[in-house]
Chain A
Amino acid sequence: MSDSDNEYIEDHSSGDDHNLNVGGSGRAQRQKGSGRNATSKPGTRARWERALRDTNNEPNVVADDSRLAENISRRAEAQKRARIRKDTKPFQRGIIRHMVLVLDVSEMMLEKDMRPNRYRVMLRYLEEYILEFFEQNPISQITVLMMYDGRCIQLSELSGNPNDHINAIQKLRDGDGKDELPKEPKGSPSLQNALEMSRAMLYHTPKHGTREVLIILGALLTNDPGDIHKTIASCVKDKLRVSIIGIFARMKICTEIVSRTNGGDESGYGVATDDVDLRDLLMASTSPPAMRATEQEDAAANLLVMGFPSRTEEEHPSLCACHGELTRGGYICPRCKTKVCSLPQTCPSCQLTLILSTHLARSYHHLFPLRNWLEVSWDRVREMRTTQCKGCLKKFPGIPTEDDGADKMDGSSESSRYECPSCHHHFCVDCDVFCHQTLYNCPGCQSGPPAQVPASNGETTGDPMALDGAS
C-alpha cells in the first residue's frame, strides 16, 4: 500500500499546481486502484498514472502574463476582423434595392431582456441602420411599416431620402402629439398582413431593382386573419425576398417564409439574442443581396435611364420641386430643368432617377469587393522581412527568436500582419479593417509595384523602374 502511495506522490510532484483537477480525480482513482496495484512493481504503472504524466507533458500548461496579454490582444484583433470577413467572391448583386422595413410594435416588444426594452433598442438601432443603408446603397429606396395590434401601418413612403425615414422613426419614438401614432407597442403582430402590405408596396417597383422585405419580429407568434401559406406563395410569385430578424427564439413559420422566398436558403432568418447581436444582424443586411440565376434572366440586359444633375448656386432663392421651399442651392434635372435639393432622388416632375456618379461608385464595391487579406505566418515574415505597416507605417512586432508553438487563434494572425494577396504588402489590423470597411481598395495595389521577396543576400531584387517599363 505505502509503496504505491510514495510512487504516486513522486509522480505528481513533477507536475504543476494548476493540475489540481487531474490530481483530484487521480486521488479518487487511487483509492480504488490501490488494492490491485499493491503488489505491482515500481516499473509498471497503471493507466491513470500514464495519463497523468501525459497531461504534464503538454506545453500549454505554463501560463505567464505576457502570453495572456497577447491572447487578449489577439482576440480583439479577431473580433475586429470578424466584421470584415465575408464572402468576397464577385457576384452580380442588386445594387438598386427596394426595401420594405417592417417593425414589430406588438406587446412582446415591451420585454425587458434588452435595456430599457426591445422596442427602444430596436428604434435606436434603426436610425443607425437607415443611415448605413443609404451609405452603402445610395440609389436604393426604403419604406417603413409597422405591425401594431394585428394591423400593418405605413410609417413612411417608399423613398431614397434617409431623412424621411429617420423622421418617421423619431416620430414613432417620441409620439407626434396626434392620436395617429401609438405611444406604446400593443397587441400581437400579423406576418400575413405585413407581407400582403409589403407586396402591395413593391408591386409597382421596376424589375431591375430588388424587392426585399426585412421584418424585425420580437413576438413568438403571428395572429393572421387568413392562410399565411397562400400569402407566402404569392410573395414567391412576385419575387419578394423576405429576411427576418427574430428576437430570442426561432419560429417555424419564419424559417418557412425565408426559405421559400429565398430559394431554399434559410440564412436570411437570424435570431438576435442580445442587443449587439441585433445590431450586427441589422447591419449585415445593408450589403446588397446576390442575384440569383433565375432573376438574372429577367434583368439580363436592361438599360436604365439615369440623370446626372449638376449643382447650381443661385443668387436669388427659388422654390425646390421636392419640398416647395425657397433655397439658393440645388441640383437641376438634366431633362426637365427642375430643381431638387438633395440627391439621390427621383425627379418630381419627369420621374427620372437623379444621382451623382459618386453614388454609383460607392455601390460599385459591392460588385467587385476588395479581396480578403491573408493572415501571415512567422515563416512568411522571415521570408518577407517586413517591419512596418504599408498603410500607416506602424511598427510590427519583431520576429521571435524561436518558434514557441503559440496556440493559434482562429481569425487573427500570429504575426499581427495581414497580406494583400495581389500586391503582397503587409498591413496592420487597423488598416485592414479601414480598407475593407471604408476605403474599399488596397493602398498597396494603388501605389506602385507589388512587394518583392528580398533576396537572401540582402539586395533588393525588385527594380521598380524595370517593372514600370514592362507594364
Chain B
Amino acid sequence: MRFHIDELEVLFPYPRIYPEQYAYMSDLKKTIDRGGHCVLEMPSGTGKTISLLSLIVAYQQAQPEKRQLIYCSHLTRIGTMSEIEKALAELRSLMHYRTEQLGYQEEFRGLGLTSRKNLCLHPSVRREKDGNVVDARCRSLTAGFVKERKERGDDVELCEYHENLDKLEPHNLIPPGVWTFDDLTRYSEEQKQCPYFTARRMIAERVSKELSKDCIVVFDEAHNIDNVCIESLSIDITADSLRKASKGADNLETEITRLKETDAQKLQDEYDKLVEGLRGADEARDEDAFMSNPTLPDDLLQEAVPGNIRRAEHFIAFLKRFIEYMKTRQKVLHSFAETPPSFLTHLKELTFIERKPLRFCAERLTSLVRTLELTNIEDYRALQDIATFATLVATYDTGFELIFEPYEVEGALMANPRTHFACLDAAIAIKPVFDRFSSVIITSGTISPLEMYPRMLGFSALITESYTMSLARKSFLPLIVSKGSDQKVITSGFEKRSDPDVVRNYGALLTEFCKLTPDGIVVFFPSYLYMESTISNWQGSGILDAIWKYKLILVETPDSQETSLALETYRTACNNGRGAVLLSVARGKVSEGVDFDHQYGRTVLCIGVPFQYTESRILKARLRFMRETYHIRDQDFLSFDAMRHAAQCLGRVLRGKEDYGIMLMADKRFTKKRNQLPKWIAQALPEADINLSVDQAVAVAKAFLRDMSKPYALKLQEGVSVWDMKDLKKHQAEQQEAEIMELQEQAELQAQKERQRQRYLEEDDEFEMDVGDEDAMMQLDV
C-alpha cells in the first residue's frame, strides 16, 4: 500500500499495516527529520524490520543527497546470520514492490556483511570450522604484502576469488540491487569473486567516502547494547595468555633479526614513517589490518610515536618488560581492584615504563606486524591483547578498573591467576558512533525501561517510545505466580531458594502446566547452579517422573554442542506431538538467540527473577562506577538488568500476531516489578493476575487456552489490529482533526487572553487613571 506520512510518500509492501507500525514509522520520521537519536521499543513479531526499512528507503529516495542506512542486528549472535538475512530478504521484497509501484528501477544497493566463515568460497578455507581459523587463513591468502611477494616471484598461495576482485572497478563490484547472503554467494560463485570482500569493500566505499555524517545507523535487537559495548573493551588476562604473549614476543624478535639480515631497509622505512606520526595509521586501517585498533582518541593520531619504541627491537624489549611486570603483578594472594592511574604509577615505579609509549602499543604492534609481513597472525593474538590492554589502560583514567584475582573461582585451591581489565562505562565504546552519525536508532522488542539506555550510553534521545501490540484478541497471557497452592510464598531469593516448600511448589507449578499446555514449554532458571540443584531435588521427590508422563524433559548445559542437540530434540518432540519441556537458564544461549514461536513455546515459565551474581567483583565495580558517575542506584540497575532478561525470556514465546502463548513469572518479587516490564507485556497484565497462587494460575491458563483453541478468522482483526488503506486514511484524518482542534483551541485561548486584556485595558480607561503610568506598569507585567 502507498500512503503519506506528512509529505513523505511511503511504499509499504503489504496490503495491510498494523497500527503500531504506522506509529513507529511516524516517530522514526520525526527523529530522522530532526537529526537525533531515538530509543524505540516495539513488540517482536509486529514487523519492526519492514516498517523500519520501508520508511528509511522512502526517506532516502525522496531526498536528493541519499542518506545511507547501516543496519546492525543481534549484537551477540555472532555466527548466525539469519536476522540480517531476514532483513535483507525483506528489503528485497520492498524494493521489488517499489519498482512495481513506481514503474522504474531505483538505483539502490543493499548488502549484508557477516563473518568470513559464513561467506568464504575458497575450497579449502571454507571447510574450517572455527571462525578465528578461517579469518587467519583468509588473511594469509589475501593480505596486501602477500600479493606483493607474489609479484616479486615468491611462491605463495593466493586466493583466486579475492584476486579476481581487483580486476573489477572498485566502486562497482556488484550490480545494483538487494543481495541476500544466498544471492551474494551464488553471484560470486558464478563470477569467481570473493563475496566477503565484495560486500566489505562496497560498504566501506560508501560508508567512508560518501556520507559519514548523514548516515542513519540502526541497532536492532539492541537490548543488551551496553553489555556488548563493555565486552568489546574489556580484556581478561590469564597466566596462560601472558605466557603465550611472551612467546609471541620472542617469535617477533627472531623475525626482526631475520629481517634485519635480509632486508634492513624495510625496518628503516617503517621507522621513518613512525617519526611522521600515526597519521599513517588512519590510512592503514584498511582491510588487511591486523586487528582494528581500540578506539583511539583523535589527538593520538596526530602525535608521533615516542622515540623509545620506534625501533622494532626496542619495542619488543619494551613489550617484554611490560609482560614480565604483569606476570609479577599476577602473583597475588587475595583479589583486589585498582584504577588505571594507580596501576600506571606502580608500573612506573617498578619498570620505568611511561604512560605515553604505552598508549601507542597497539598501533605500534600493528605496524610492526605489517612490516614483518607475518601471515600466521593467530599466534600473536595473545600479544595483541596485551598491547591493546596497554593502550587502553594508558588512555583512559576513568571508566575502567583492573581486578586481580588469584583464583578462578571462589575457594579454589589451585592458583589460577587472572586479571580482569573491566570496562565499566558503556558510553566509551559507543561514543564514536553517536559522535559520527547524526541519527542513531536503537530498537528492540524488549528495551524497557527506556530511559535507562540514554543514561547508560551517554546520549540524549530525541524520542523514546514504547509501542503496545494492538491485538484483536488477547493472544498472550502474562501471569505472575507468587505463591504455591499451599499459600507459601515462592521466590528464588537467595535465602529461600533451597527451602523444600519453594522447590516443591515450583515443581507443582511446572507439573500442572506441563499437563495443560500442548506441545512445547520453556522454563528459565536464574542460574545453572540453581537449575542443577532444583532438578536433583525434583528427581528425588518424584516430580520429574510426573512431568515425564506429559512431556520429554530436555536441559540446557553450558556446553553448546549438547545444547544444540537438546534444542534439536526439543523441536522434533514439539513437531511430532510428544511435547517437551526445555529447562534452560535466563542468561544462557537459549534465552538470547533462539525463538520459541508457535508450537515450540506455548508456555514460558520464568522461575525466579534472573538477577546477576552480585558477588562478582566486576559487577560490583560497575555498580559503583554507575552510582558515582551516572547516579544510577545499585538496586535500580540490578533490577533493570534482571527484568530485561526476564522480558527477553518471555518475549521469546510470542513471535507475531497469530501466535499465542502463556508467560508465567513465578516469583514473589515480580509483583513489585510489574512496571519495569515492557509496556506491551505490562498492559496485558491486569492487576488481578499479578499475585496468583498455582491453582489460580492453572485455572486462568486453562480458560485462556480454551479461548485460543478456537480457530480465529483473520477478518476479525481488520480495522482493529490490522489496517487497510481505508482504516489508515481514517486514522490519519482523525489525527489531523485532533491536531487542528488543538491548534484551534490554542488560538481560541490566545484570543480570549487578548480579549481579556482588552477588557482589562478598557476597564482601566473607565477609571481614568494616570494612563502613562498604568501602561508602563502593564508592560512591566507582561
**Chain B contacts for A220, CB-based, 8 A:** 515-519, 550, 579
Cβ A252 vs Cβ B575 within 8 A: yes
B485 contacts partner chain A, Cβ-Cβ < 8 Å = no
Q: Number of B residues whose C-beta is below 8 Å from A?
A: 28
8 intermolecular pairs with C-beta atoms under 8 Å apart: A220-B516, A220-B517, A224-B577, A228-B576, A248-B705, A249-B602, A252-B599, A256-B575
- A271-B710 contact, Cβ under 8 Å, with A39-B756, A221-B551: yes
B549 contacts partner chain A, Cβ-Cβ < 8 Å = yes
Cβ A249 vs Cβ B574 within 8 A: no
Contacting residue for A39 out of B517, B578, B598, B752, CB 8 A: B752
Interface size class of A (residues with CB under 8 A): 20 to 34
Q: Given contacts A40-B752, A253-B575, could you give 12 more A-B pairs where the C-beta distance is less than 8 Å?
A: A44-B748, A188-B549, A220-B519, A221-B579, A248-B706, A248-B709, A250-B708, A251-B518, A251-B519, A251-B577, A252-B519, A266-B711
Contacting residue for A252 out of B551, B577, B702, CB 8 A: B577
- How far apart are A448's CB and chain B's nearest CB, in angstroms? 42
**Chain A contacts for B574, CB-based, 8 A:** 252
Count the A-B residue pairs with Cβ separation under 8 angstroms: how many?
A: 73
The docked-state distance in angstroms from the alpha carbon of A138 to that of B254 is 97
A273 contacts partner chain B, Cβ-Cβ < 8 Å = yes
In the complex, the 5 A-B pairs of residues with the closest C-beta atoms, listed nearest first: A253-B577, A252-B599, A271-B709, A222-B577, A249-B705
B716 contacts partner chain A, Cβ-Cβ < 8 Å = no
Give 1 or 0 for each of A425-438: 1 = CB within 8 Å of chain B CB. Answer: 00000000000000
A355 contacts partner chain B, Cβ-Cβ < 8 Å = no
Cβ A227 vs Cβ B576 within 8 A: yes
- How far apart are B514's CB and chain A's nearest CB, in angstroms? 9
Cβ B576 vs Cβ A250 within 8 A: no
- Chain B, 177-225, CB within 8 A of any chain A CB: none
The docked-state distance in angstroms from the alpha carbon of A249 to that of B516 is 8
- How far apart are B625's CB and chain A's nearest CB, in angstroms? 42
The docked-state distance in angstroms from the alpha carbon of A251 to that of B520 is 10
Name which of A191, A220, A248 has the most chain B CB atoms within 10 A of its CB. Answer: A220
Give 1 or 0 for each of A196-233: 1 = CB within 8 Å of chain B CB. Answer: 00000000000000000000000011111001110000
A254 contacts partner chain B, Cβ-Cβ < 8 Å = yes
- How far apart are A425's CB and chain B's nearest CB, in angstroms? 33
B741 contacts partner chain A, Cβ-Cβ < 8 Å = yes
- Chain A, 247-276, CB within 8 A of any chain B CB: 248-254, 256, 266-267, 271, 273
The docked-state distance in angstroms from the alpha carbon of A41 to that of B519 is 64
**Chain A contacts for B599, CB-based, 8 A:** 251-252
**Chain B contacts for A40, CB-based, 8 A:** 752
Cβ A246 vs Cβ B517 within 8 A: no
Point out residues on A near B: beta carbons under 8 Å.
39-41, 44, 47, 113, 188, 191, 220-224, 227-229, 246, 248-254, 256, 266-267, 271, 273
Contacting residue for A228 out of B549, B551, B577, CB 8 A: B577
Cβ B741 vs Cβ A47 within 8 A: yes
The docked-state distance in angstroms from the alpha carbon of A109 to that of B519 is 18
Give 1 or 0 for each of B568-597: 1 = CB within 8 Å of chain A CB. Answer: 000000111111000000000000000000
Cβ A253 vs Cβ B576 within 8 A: yes
- How far apart are B219's CB and chain A's nearest CB, in angstroms? 34
**Chain A contacts for B708, CB-based, 8 A:** 249-250
The docked-state distance in angstroms from the alpha carbon of A364 to that of B374 is 88
Closest A residue, CB atoms, query B704: A249
**Chain A contacts for B578, CB-based, 8 A:** 221-224
**Chain B contacts for A44, CB-based, 8 A:** 748
The docked-state distance in angstroms from the alpha carbon of A39 to that of B760 is 14
Contacting residue for B576 out of A224, A246, A266, A271, CB 8 A: A224
Cβ A229 vs Cβ B576 within 8 A: yes
- How far apart are B300's CB and chain A's nearest CB, in angstroms? 56
**Chain B contacts for A271, CB-based, 8 A:** 709-710
Closest A residue, CB atoms, query B738: A47
- How far apart are B295's CB and chain A's nearest CB, in angstroms? 48
- How far apart are B445's CB and chain A's nearest CB, in angstroms? 23
Closest B residue, CB atoms, query A271: B709
- How far apart are B519's CB and chain A's nearest CB, in angstroms? 5
Closest B residue, CB atoms, query A247: B709
- How far apart are B55's CB and chain A's nearest CB, in angstroms? 31
Name which of B577, B602, B706 has the most chain A CB atoms within 10 A of its CB. Answer: B577
Closest B residue, CB atoms, query A270: B711
Closest B residue, CB atoms, query A44: B748
Closest A residue, CB atoms, query B575: A252
- A250-B756 contact, Cβ under 8 Å, with A224-B578, A228-B576: no
**Chain B contacts for A47, CB-based, 8 A:** 741
- Chain B, 697-715, CB within 8 A of any chain A CB: 702, 705-706, 708-711
Cβ B706 vs Cβ A249 within 8 A: yes
Give 1 or 0 for each of B519-562: 1 = CB within 8 Å of chain A CB. Answer: 10000000000000000000000000000011100000000000
The docked-state distance in angstroms from the alpha carbon of A235 to that of B702 is 33
The docked-state distance in angstroms from the alpha carbon of A398 to that of B728 is 44
The docked-state distance in angstroms from the alpha carbon of A246 to that of B549 is 19
The docked-state distance in angstroms from the alpha carbon of A47 to that of B744 is 12
The docked-state distance in angstroms from the alpha carbon of A250 to that of B602 is 10
The docked-state distance in angstroms from the alpha carbon of A220 to that of B577 is 8
**Chain A contacts for B579, CB-based, 8 A:** 220-221
**Chain A contacts for B706, CB-based, 8 A:** 248-249, 273
- How far apart are B662's CB and chain A's nearest CB, in angstroms? 11
**Chain A contacts for B576, CB-based, 8 A:** 222, 224, 227-229, 253
The docked-state distance in angstroms from the alpha carbon of A256 to that of B575 is 9
The docked-state distance in angstroms from the alpha carbon of A229 to that of B572 is 11
The docked-state distance in angstroms from the alpha carbon of A251 to that of B711 is 12
